[in-house]
Amino acid sequence: MKLDKKRKQHYVWKYYLKQWTQNKKVFLLYNNEILNTNLDNVANSRDFYRLKELNSNDLIFLQYAINKINDPLLKKLDIDWINTFSEVFKIREKIIKSGNSNKELDNIIDITINNMEEELHSKIENIGSKYLKMILEQDLSFFETDEGFIEFTLYLCMQYFRTENMKNQALQSEIADSSFIINMDNVWSIFKILFATNMAYTLYASKEDWKMQLLENGTEIPFITGDQPVINEYSIPNTISKELSLYYPVSPILAIRISKELDRSKSSQICTKKDVIIQNKKIKNNSYQQIYGNTKSSLETFITK
């Protein structure tokens, strides 16, 4: 069986972006220019998910971070993730030390290192797809069930942390404790998975406090999305907010919000033109390099003169 190395790796799910396509193309604002292109050309980077081998300092830092977690189940989940993504490097080291290394085996290991996280995201996307379909059918009932809540919030948190935008912010960040000398590029390959897991776990731990609301857009201005498709509405770019309200457009006419502040008696909100403009600005302000729309006009307002 031939294994294919997946080189062009998308950090925004192509299936999700299809809602903004017309004739299999999407309008894209990039470098202050609007383009009309297919989804293969957006929100991707070569070998974006290729795993990085953690050095001893990286592992010490990760252990330090995990030791701060009080919940034993969450701590175990995080340790399991680290072990899962470290195992391939341990196997490679054992093979080299045994003297059994050969070209075919080296190639399999290399492909595994390159594809492993990409395949994880594919599995999570497969789980998320059924919930996206329900949202597009304006059915949010799954959010009231344990299984639906857990699976969808994990999917959503993964979409939040997996992007190039979040990676860039991590690489620019400074570790508060200067005693750690780590390679953030290495650590981020696993940290984003831990962050997504921890956020989803925290949401579920206070499940009764959270409400999902459907935002319905009947205006002539469509919702746009971007290369940071899930945003925290309380966040200011390049800062950390302790408050959380997740916003996720799922099509030009539908979006969702997950927040503690929502009126629990209202499962949906009809958006005015002003509402849509505000939400689109939030997407633009939280994007990294690209925003997407189903029409050229929906992006023109964001061109700087």
Write down the mean pLDDT value for the chain. 92
* Distance separating alpha carbons of residues 34 and 292, to the nearest angstrom: 9
Residue 196 reports pLDDT greater than 60: yes
66 and 75 Cβ atoms separated by less than 8 Å: yes
Q: Per residue in 92-124, is it b (16+ CB within 10 Å) or e — as a string?
A: beeeeeeeeeeeeeeeebeebbbbbbbebbeeb
Determine the pLDDT at residue 89.
Answer: 95
pLDDT band (50, 70, 90) for residue 133: very high
Q: What are phi and psi of 228, to 5 degrees?
A: -125, 80
pLDDT band (50, 70, 90) for residue 1: very low
Structure pTM?
0.94
pLDDT band (50, 70, 90) for residue 240: low
Determine the pLDDT at residue 237.
Answer: 61
The packing angle between helices 184-205 and 164-172, to 10°, is 110
Residue 96 reports pLDDT greater than 80: yes
SS3 at position 117:
helix
